Chain A
Amino acid sequence: MNVTIVDYNSGNISSVINSFKEVAKNKVNIEVTSDLNKIKSSDKVVLPGQGSFKSCVHALNNISGLVDTLNEFAIINKKPLLGICVGLQMFADIGYEETKTKGLGWISGKVLKINNQNGKYKLPHIGWNQINIVKDSKIFKGIENNSHMYFVHSYEFIPENKNLISATTEYSSNIVCSVEKENIFGTQFHPEKSDKTGLKIIDNFISI
């Protein structure tokens, strides 16, 4: 089996690579590439994302044919895809970080700055927070409710269809931290930095 981590100059992805390689051992081949043919032929795709919504969308668009290839992979062929952090946020129709930017439009909704109640809460939301699993998701198999995950973000994804939310976390408001729509999975937290529980989520995704 091949799992491809999309390398599209979205910032630092070494930790994502290290964690997937740790979980995969020699059972699964982990590719790190932006090569369209390799993405097309892989079994699963991971879409990481660091920095701003705008910079990540621009980085995706800068690689000719990449967005079309991802659409074909996830929407037409319905193969499993995991978005992490801004990778998840880009599922939205639109994001408002820096400037209004169009997303992939895979899950209707928007990405807005977390309402920190006039400075009462620090932003970014950095650190370990507990997740409230609201829906059985394949990536949460064997994960206890209220497990701690590592977060670092200032923007949140607000999907229109609340039924697609698989977990939330409590900060200045109730924040969507995981979604699942058929073959498309996303986490706002960083499983690659969430210790053994995070590695288990990665293992679950690889095992789908």
Chain B
Amino acid sequence: MLKNRIIPCLDVKNGRVVKGINFVDLKDAGDPVEQAKIYSDGGADEICFLDITASNENRDTIYDVVEKTSKKCFVPLTVGGGVRSVEDINKLLSCGADKVSINTAAVQNPEVVVESSKKFGSQCIVVAIDAKKNSDKWEIFTHGGRNNSGIDAIEFSKKMENSGAGELLVTSMDRDGTQVGYDIELMSKISAKVNIPVIASGGVGNLDHLVDGIKLGNASAVLAASIFHYGKHSVKEAKEYLDSKGIPVRI
């Protein structure tokens, strides 16, 4: 039986791990390579690096982090943030990333998703959707949550599936950093719309939120940052909790 995945996410800036509260007010929480290794040894099903300030700054540090991590961690590694072109994807994959997540570029130029999934295979193309609720719909935000594209997130998710995305990483901008739980309505709507796996992200504050993301949001995988890397919970604890709630996990 296929297991639901738990994915700790490390927000990386200039080669160091940080986690923003609504993408501002950053705190330093350690070396990404060591953290990733702790997670993979602790049973993380995948590791995700998000290069949060990549759009504005020198991104060469992330290549170095990816290269070092991929020599120590033997679980899948997803890297995103500031990925603009097929060449960016190629470079991250060559450094040892297993999947690359594309956010702003997928919205501005969906051809990047079409081209890269043809070139490298859908299995390594994740489209990251950052969405915020606006009355009865969700709109896609780009540039690390700064710009509102006005595009409907649910419709866009289907378009990305058709363009060749292998997975969708869906983040609720309303919930990110708040620790009040995933936007379950958003997750379940997108999950029902597409036939590819959905990774829920944004808002996890406790282990019940992970359960809700899977049971109510119908996500295939749950991504969380701060509950893991400030030591509030270990990945092992999270898995045992999910298991106790009847969710299939790899233990």
- For residue A123, which residue of chain B has the nearest CB? B195
Chain B residues near A105: list those with CB within 8 A. Answer: none
Would B71 and A18 count as touching, CB distance under 8 A? yes
Chain A residues near B45: list those with CB within 8 A. Answer: 127-128
Does B137 reach chain A (CB closer than 8 Å)? no
Counting from the closest, the 7 A-B pairs by CB-CB distance are A51-B121, A12-B93, A128-B250, A152-B123, A14-B96, A148-B250, A128-B3
Would B70 and A12 count as touching, CB distance under 8 A? no
Would A150 and B75 count as touching, CB distance under 8 A? yes
Chain B residues near A129: list those with CB within 8 A. Answer: 1-3
A1-53 contacts to B, CB under 8 A, are: 11-12, 14-15, 18-19, 21-22, 50-52
Chain A residues near B75: list those with CB within 8 A. Answer: 150, 193-195
Does B81 reach chain A (CB closer than 8 Å)? no
Does A63 reach chain B (CB closer than 8 Å)? no
Would B124 and A12 count as touching, CB distance under 8 A? yes
Instruction: Determine the distance from Cα of A128 to Cα of B4 in the docked complex, in whole angstroms.
Output: 8
On chain A, the number of residues with a Cβ less than 8 Å from chain B's Cβ atoms is 38
Does A71 reach chain B (CB closer than 8 Å)? no
Does B19 reach chain A (CB closer than 8 Å)? no
Would A127 and B2 count as touching, CB distance under 8 A? yes
Size class of the contact patch on chain B: 20 to 34
Give the interface of A toward B (CB within 8 A). 11-12, 14-15, 18-19, 21-22, 50-52, 55, 116, 119, 122-130, 148, 150-154, 170-171, 192-196, 198-199
Instruction: Determine the distance from Cα of A151 to Cα of B3 in the docked complex, in whole angstroms.
Output: 11
Would B40 and A195 count as touching, CB distance under 8 A? yes
Does B94 reach chain A (CB closer than 8 Å)? yes
Contact check: which of B74, B95, B119, B196 meets A194 at CB < 8 Å?
Answer: B74
Contact check: which of B76, B97, B166, B220 meets A150 at CB < 8 Å?
Answer: B76
Chain A residues near B98: list those with CB within 8 A. Answer: 12, 15, 193
A11-B120, A50-B123, A119-B195 are known contacts. Are A127 and B3 too (CB-CB below 8 A)?
Answer: yes
Would B5 and A122 count as touching, CB distance under 8 A? no
Instruction: Determine the distance from Cα of A12 to Cα of B166 in the docked complex, in whole angstroms.
Output: 15
Contact check: which of A50, A171, A192, A198 meets B124 at CB < 8 Å?
Answer: A50
Contact check: which of A15, A127, A150 meets B96 at CB < 8 Å?
Answer: A15
Interface pairs (28), CB distance under 8 Å:
A11-B93, A11-B120, A11-B121, A12-B93, A12-B94, A12-B120, A14-B95, A15-B98, A18-B74, A19-B74, A22-B71, A50-B121, A50-B124, A51-B120, A55-B121, A122-B195, A124-B122, A124-B166, A124-B197, A125-B2, A126-B123, A128-B3, A129-B1, A148-B250, A150-B76, A154-B122, A194-B74, A195-B74
Does B221 reach chain A (CB closer than 8 Å)? yes
Would A124 and B250 count as touching, CB distance under 8 A? no
Chain B residues near A150: list those with CB within 8 A. Answer: 75-76
Would B94 and A126 count as touching, CB distance under 8 A? no
Does B51 reach chain A (CB closer than 8 Å)? no
